[in-house]
Amino acid sequence: MKLSILQNSRYFLFSISLLLLLLLLANWVGLNQESVHFNSQVKPIFNKKCISCHGGVKKNGGFSTMNREEMLRPNESGKPAIVPGKPAESELMRRITAHDPEERMPYEASPLSSKEIGILRQWIKEGAIWGTHWAYVPVQPVKVPAINGFLGLFSAKGSSWANTPIDKFIYTTLKEQQLSPSPRADKATLLRRVSLDLIGMPAPDSIARAYLQDQSPRAFENLVDALLASPRFGERWASMWLDLARYADTKGYERDPGRQIWRYRDWLIRALNADMPYDQFLTEQIAGDLLPNPSDEQYLATAFHRNTSTNDEGGTDNEEFRVAAVLDRVNTTFEGVLGTTFACTQCHGHPYEDIKHEEYYRVLAYFNNTRDEDTYEDYPLLRHYPTADSVKLDSLCTWVAKVSTPQRSMEVYTFLKTLQPSIYSIAGDRFVNCELYDTKTLVMRKDASARFKQVDISGKTKLICRVKTHLDGGRWEIHQDSTNGPLVTAIDLPNTKRDWNLIELDVKAPRGIHDLYWVYQNPGIKEITQGGISFDWFYFTDAFPAEDNPEAKKYQADFWHLLNSRPQTTPIALENPAHMQRTTNVFERGNWIVKGKVVQAGVPKLLGNVPQNAPNNRLGFVQWLVDKKNPLTARTMVNRLWEQVFGMGLVETLEDLGSQGAIPTHPELLDYLAWQFMHQQQWSIKAALKQMLCTNTYQQKAEASPELYEKDPYNRYYARGPRVRLSAEQVRDQALALSGLMSTKMYGPGVMPFQPEGIWASPYGNEKWVLSEGEDRYRRAVYTYHKRTSPYPSMLTFDGTTRDVCTARRIRTNTPLQALVTLNDPVYIDAARALAKRMRYAGTDVDRQIARGYYLALKCKIAPNKQAVLEKLHEKALKKYRSNPKLADELFGTEKYQTRPAVPPWWW
């Protein structure tokens, strides 16, 4: 670190004097009281001193500092607090300067400083011009600072160092802070740094070797390209997104049973590897089901918002937990995608931002019309047919389109893929001698009836129901409007022998929207308390098309074959059809039971408008989200990518770019990157990352002098390279990769690597942690089965999240329990054994073996002083094991937990 400012003392003195000049200049501006800046000078005073009593929540005296309109409005005293241009006539000025403590504001707090009073006076004098917080203004193009052109003051060194736009921004701030960049790190360091950043593990040997041998100036860029192209890339970045998506393999809450939703994780890995543009990435996850003729992949993407917890605990109110999930979707979207705090507006107006209570529910209205209702089965589900059945489905739908209409074909397709739109039995009410058992499944007993409100049966001729019985002699009648109203249909129920079956009923030409009454009778039932039929859902439809067509029989058979098959499924989002739309109310004080006024879908005014011609549903919402005028989406994402690479965001609070979030260290750079991301890189995550990595800023040495540490302990100015602790996933993956144990198998259900006994304690279920077989024990961390109530212990110890709710940022800790994991967790003992075997390929000399191990781990030569420490340890251990061979056997021989066969050293 000899690039010190003292060496360039000439420039140093010169720039000091320049700085002084600039300061004087600034002061002079101040003295002349020209143009107060609202966002940087006025708004902070309001936020700090006024807003708790005069803000979005409390408006004491009828006065609020939330926006200009409210501020200029006459308050309870009848006069406005502020008269633009006239500080002397403004009540606000009188009150902040009053001497009477009963009058003086802020009330019962220390008075404003004279400087603050001066700022407010000047601001009112200038017309009380309002400004919007920077993060809510659409991103504008930013000019890259010119390094050479600045009065020729910077050294030639600076201009050659700052040779990319990012470097130019960084260099400019470094100079302002009187710091200088560090030299470039050596190749081994860069190799490890960029590999961990891009693929979350050390580079495979082929890539590593190619880079270390590549002497061209493009060597680093080639390395970045190779890593971006590796399938490991998607696995590493999926880990990041899964925290936002609160992905888990279980449903959460009390029973926390398993949920088959791993295909979403696989979708994510594929999307990231394919570098799906971020706008499309968001569109498919939030509204893939509303795209025209959605593909399986687009449906799968919508599982993003089906990762919410559902509650199977007996006695819980299903609507309560449906609503909880919908609220979670809104909060997750705002926190994760928009980097803004919205959850507080669930109960009242936003305390600091100009967002109203009602606006929360306008956004909620977009999300409030999906088919999920906290059912036991997690409906709606996408059905994954095996290939042969998929072929059948395609030809069936093609045929239906031919003999009927494309619309009818789509209905058949949607129903066979999702069993929707069906009505769940939990929606029933007016139960007579029937009950929702475990509050999830409707069971009808002797002479039972239940009502389903407002069902559209117009023109329908068939009814399909999912039922389970174990008795003969049961009969169902379905009546319109009351239990003895007009008969819609009736059936003598089959005995399904305690298995869920689908039954079809003919419906007699009904019309309109009606309350329907299901009446169950079974004279065979003796005890009034004995259950007769379990009932899951029903679906009204039309008769199978073209029944007189010679092919109809075959296709109808295919239809029922597909319907009765039990393929694997994934929970997805699916919109309610028009006749099943829910209305959305404001919840008074956030309480879902106390419903306030009805609201229509819309976005907060502060954050712009929905694009013209956007549909009024989730698809329209997402079009607003990815609109290039949306001020937050791109900024939030580039800030997140920056944080992943540099260890801290340009705005430290990834979850809040708002006026209460951290102040950006490099606001112009953030906007530059956001603009590039949208307009130049066409939302390419890989391009955005490459731009950040192929900079001198990123490639600096991470070593720092004590002076630099003191000046910039968190490396906020980037006078050195990033040095970031590994994530939970990276800790595991690195150990597996270095030891050669790692399986590179991709995709599939969550795997269960070694975990101590007795970690899982799930009530009611029989689910157990069963150690995976073969290579599945050595899969990357992203594939580890995640149970919400018992996450994989070593992941939690290294600050992994429980995935209960969206987590925008992990907080890193440094604890003794982490040391215990890497010292004693059998996973790491196993890896250590395997690494030892790899080290022995270096030959019989211990010093060479140690050097080899160090090289495998860090791709660089071990320093002699470290080599000496390790040799000493080896010596001590050897002596111990020689004198006590039993101990050595215990370490290497008799473990029940066996390692994979050693891999040859060229494998990586």
Partner 1 sequence: MNPSKFNIYQEALLNSAAFSTRRLFLKHCGMGLGAAALGQLLGSCAPATENANQGVLYDPNNPMMPRAPHFPGKAKSVIYLHMAGAPSQLEMFDYKPDLAKLDGQLCPESLLAGKRFAFIRGVPKMLGPCANFKQRGQSGAWVSDYLPHFAELADEVSFLKAVHTDQFNHAPAQLMMQTGSARLGRPSIGSWVTYGLGSENSNLPGFVVLTSGRQNRDAVKTVWGSGFLPSVYQGVQCRSAGEPVLYLQDPHGIDRDLRKASIDAINEVNRKTYEEFQDPEILSRIAQYEMAYRMQVSAPEVMNINDEPAYIQEMYGVKPGKESFANNALLARKLVEKGVRFVQLYDWGWDTHGTGADGAVDIGLINKCREIDKSMSALILDLKQRGLLDETLVVWGSEFGRTPMQENRNGLELPFKGRDHHADAFTMWMCGGGIKKGVTYGETDEIGFSPVSGRTSVFDVQATILNQLGFDHEKFTHQFQGRPFRLTDVEGEVIRAIV
How far, in Å, CA of 637 to CA of 794, rounded? 28
E-strand spans in 327-439? 381-384, 423-424, 429-437
Q: How many residues bind partner 1 (CB under 8 A)?
A: 117
Find the binder of partner 1 among 215, 564, 844, 865 (CB under 8 A): 865
Interacting positions 230-289 with partner 1 (CB under 8 A): 252-254, 256
Q: How far apart are CA 120 and CA 434, in angstroms?
A: 68
Residues near 720 by beta carbon (within 8 Å), at least 6 away in sequence: 182, 700, 701, 702, 703, 704, 708
Of the candidate spans 23-31, 55-63, 490-498, 601-609, the one that interacts with partner 1 by CB under 8 A turns out to be 55-63
Q: What is the smallest separation between the CB atom of 885 and partner 1, expressed in angstroms?
A: 11
* Of 152 and 816, CB closest to partner 1: 816
> Does 358 interact with partner 1 (rule: CB under 8 A)?
no
Binding to partner 1 by residue 664, rule CB under 8 A? no
Indicate whether 895 belongs to the interface with partner 1 (CB under 8 A). yes
**One of 90, 570, 665, 762 touching partner 1 (CB under 8 A):** 762
Which residue from 228, 158, 222, 135 is spatially nearest to 645, judged by alpha carbons? 228
Query: Toward partner 1, which CB reaches closer, 281 or 769?
Result: 769
Please select the residue that binds partner 1; options are 74, 231, 314, 494, rule is CB under 8 A: 314
Q: How many angstroms separate the Cα of 655 from the Cα of each of 453, 800, 813, 893?
A: 42, 17, 19, 50
Distance in angstroms (rounded) separating the CA atoms of residues 495 and 498: 8
Token pair for 565 = 């098959």
Specify the residue, 214 or 703, whose C-beta has the smaller distance to partner 1.
703
286 to 305, contacts with partner 1 by CB under 8 A?
none
Residue 671 binds partner 1 (CB under 8 A) = no
Name the minimum Å distance from CB 365 to partner 1.
Answer: 21
Q: Which is nearer to partner 1, 266 or 328 (CB)?
A: 328
Q: Which of 870, 900, 903, 905 binds partner 1 (CB under 8 A)?
A: 870
- The answer to whether residue 335 forms part of the interface with partner 1 (CB under 8 A) is yes
Minimum distance, C-beta of residue 865 to partner 1, in the bound complex (Å): 6
CA distance 159 to 85: 46
State the binding string over 778-817 for partner 1 (x if CB under 8 A, else -).
Answer: ----------xxxx-xx-xx-xx-x-xx-x---xxxxxxx
Name the nearest CA neighbour of 698 among 172, 145, 185: 185
CB of 876 to partner 1, least distance (A): 5
Q: Which is nearer to partner 1, 145 or 853 (CB)?
A: 853
- Region of 336-344, 474-482, 517-525, 688-696 interacting with partner 1 (CB under 8 A): 336-344
- Identify which range of 290-298, 546-554, 598-606, 890-898 contacts partner 1 by CB under 8 A: 890-898
| Residue 550 within binding range of partner 1, rule CB under 8 A | no
Among 154, 281, 352, 785, binds partner 1 (CB under 8 A): 352
Q: CB 535 → partner 1: shortest distance, Å? A: 14
Q: Which is nearer to partner 1, 89 or 254 (CB)?
A: 254
Find out whether 781 and 238 touch, Cβ atoms under 8 Å. Answer: no
Convert 173-215 into a string of H (helix), E (strand) and C (coil). HHHHCCCCCCCECCHHHHHHHHHHHHHCCCCCHHHHHHHHHCC
Q: Which two tokens stand for residue 174?
A: 């470094």
Q: How far is the CB of 556 from partner 1 (least distance, A)?
A: 39
Binding positions for partner 1, 459-518, rule CB under 8 A: none
Nearer to partner 1, 662 or 903 (CB): 662
Structural contact between residues 174 and 181, judged by C-beta atoms closer than 8 angstroms: yes
Whole-number Cα distances in Å, 341 to 287, 333, 345, 379? 22, 10, 9, 30
Beta carbon of residue 12, minimum distance to partner 1 (angstroms, whole number): 23
**Please, which of residues 414-433 interact with partner 1 by CB under 8 A?**
431, 433
- Asked if residue 647 lies in contact with residue 197, where contact means CB atoms within 8 angstroms, the answer is no
Instruction: Write the secondary structure of 764-830 as one string of H (helix), E (strand) and C (coil).
Output: CCCCCCCCCCHHHHHCCHHHECCCCCCCCHHHHHCCCCCCCCCCCCCCCCCCHHHHHHHHHCHHHHH
Q: Shortest gap between Cβ of 504 and partner 1 (angstroms)?
A: 29
Q: Are strands 487-492 and 381-384 parallel, antiparallel or unpaired?
A: unpaired
Candidate residues 8, 52, 541, 576; the one interacting with partner 1 per rule CB under 8 A: 52
Task: Identify the CA nearest to 188 among candidates 699, 676, 665.
Answer: 699
Under rule CB under 8 A, residue 200 binds partner 1: no
Q: Using an 8 Å Cβ cutoff, are 750 and 772 in contact?
A: no
**Any idea which residue has 């066409």 for tokens?**
682
Distance, CA of 345 to chain centre = 20
Q: Is 821 in the site for partner 1 (CB under 8 A)?
A: yes
102 is a site residue for partner 1 (CB under 8 A): no
Q: How far is the CB of 75 from partner 1 (least distance, A)?
A: 19
Instruction: Considering only residues 699 through 758, tell me which ones interact with partner 1, judged by CB under 8 A.
Output: 702-706, 709-710, 713-714, 723, 725, 756-758
Report yes or no: 806 and 246 within 8 Å, Cβ to Cβ.
yes
Q: Is the Cβ–Cβ distance between 378 and 613 less than 8 Å?
A: no
Angle at 466 between CA 464 and CA 471, to 5 degrees: 115
By CB under 8 A, tell whether 774 contacts partner 1. no
The two structure tokens encoding residue 190 = 């860069």
Interface with partner 1 includes 823 (CB under 8 A)?
A: yes
Helices (H), 713-781: 728-739
Quick one: which of 210, 464, 471, 888 contacts partner 1 (CB under 8 A)?
A: 888
For residue 155, state whether it binds partner 1 (rule: CB under 8 A).
no
877 binds partner 1 (CB under 8 A): yes
Q: Give kind and range of the element (H or E) at residue 517.
A: strand 513-521
Positions 525 through 544 that interact with partner 1 (CB under 8 A): 529
Among 825, 831, 849, 899, binds partner 1 (CB under 8 A): 825
